[in-house]
Amino acid sequence: MKTTRYFEEQVLRKRPYIQREWCERALRQPAHREVQADGRFRCWIFIPEIGKYLRVVTLEDGETVHNAFPDRSFKEEKK
């Protein structure tokens, strides 16, 4: 998994419980995915271990992880 320096030095330091495998899973099998106005991607996946959705933000390439955090406000749309 490709990551930014910010992810390695800031995100993982502030949120040491975040597992890289969760981020990889979010990119491979997102519950929801959308493009931000700046061209970056947001992917969400439910993580049973924390009981919340994890939002993973990638750079414009859609594969380099820049940020990840539990998203308290995300609600998956019913299909």
pTM of the full structure: 0.92
- Alpha carbons within 13 angstroms on the beta-carbon side of residue 56 total 31
Q: Which residues pair with 15 in a beta bridge?
A: none
In which band, very low, low, confident or very high, does the pLDDT at 76 lie, cut at 50, 70 and 90? Answer: confident
Encode pLDDT of 15-24 as tens digits.
999 999 999 9
Residue 75's pLDDT band, with cuts at 50, 70 and 90, is confident
Name the residue type at position 45: I
- Are 43 and 58 in contact by the 8 Å Cβ rule? The answer is yes
